[in-house]
Amino acid sequence: MAAAGSVQKTDEEWRAILSPEQFRILREKGTELKFTGEYDKFFDEGVYKCAGCGTPLYKSATKFNSGCGWPAFFEGLPGAINRTVRSLSLFSTHNPFSPDPDGRRTEITCAACGGHLGHVFKGEGFKTPTDERHCVNSVSIKFVSGN
């Protein structure tokens, strides 16, 4: 796995290797329309890698059918996923890994290249080991068959 923050490119370099839709989602934090992604209802055995830099992110064994319209995983590979750290003032008492202002989600990105993957939701009651749902854009990931 690539070291955290190890893949750095200019916007021009990213545009040269990503499709326009991949650039919009991975680099500009966009979202694909629900139920349109290639991997929403895809459950083959293998590994999902970052579509930007190729870093392994998720094992297929952690993917589950959440019905949300995007691929859902209950955990990423160790060290592969960053959660957005919210800026804190000197006197703030807020959790730096707190959800977006809507209070429901926290952004997740590839730890190696910073590409936007989607959001993680906690406490929704899914019967998974972590009670988390990593809601990931299909455009942000690439599936590789096998173990």
Residue 127: exposed, middle, or buried by beta-carbon count in 10 A (0-12, 13-18, 19+)?
Answer: exposed
Q: What is the rounded distance in angstroms from the CA atom of residue 88 to the CA atom of residue 46?
A: 38
Which residue is catalytic, options 50, 110, 113, 135? Answer: 135
Q: Cα-flanking dihedrals φ and ψ of residue 18, to 5°? A: -110, 150
Residue 95: exposed, middle, or buried by beta-carbon count in 10 A (0-12, 13-18, 19+)?
Answer: exposed
Confirm whether 53 is a catalytic residue.
no
DSSP letter for 107, please.
E
Q: What is the rounded distance in angstroms from the CA atom of residue 129 to the CA atom of residue 135?
A: 16
First-last CA distance in the chain: 15
Neighbouring C-beta atoms of residue 16, cutoff 10 Å: 10
Supply the residues annotated as catalytic. 135
